[in-house]
Amino acid sequence: MRDPHDVQVVALNVLSKGVAFDFYNAVIPVLKKLKIHTGRYWGVHADVDMQHLAMGLDLCEEVAPNSAKGKLYHRTLWQSATLYHHMLSSWVGERVDPIRQLA
């Protein structure tokens, strides 16, 4: 990636914390249903990731989608999401096509 470091950090933070927040919020109800949800571990992680996600979003300036900065955020997030997609798929032994970039 050749984007400015601040854009990379914001994009990676927003993406990773969003993925983690979604993961914990999906896992907690399943663990409760299976009666193996113990302690505060999962809930604390979800809360912290939500806070970190909000902090990352606060660093993003408001931009129009078709502005130069908006396109830069989109491209950086797309590249990061594509890498996550391949990484997570490899964990379960799946080959996947690249994520189609939105116009």
Distance CA 11, CA 61 (A): 12
Locate 94 and state its tokens.
């799946």
Separation between Cα atoms, residue 9 and residue 3, nearest integer Å:
10
pTM: 0.70
The per-residue pLDDT for 34 is: 94
The 10 Å CB-count burial string (b at 16+, else e) for 76-85 is bbbbbbeeee
Structure confidence at residue 26 (pLDDT):
92
Query: Which residue positions in the chain have pLDDT lower than 50?
Result: none
pLDDT at 99: 82
Q: Provide the residue ranges of all domains of the chain, joining segments of one domain with +.
A: 5-91
84 touches 12 (CB < 8 A): no
- 88/83 Cα distance (integer angstroms): 9
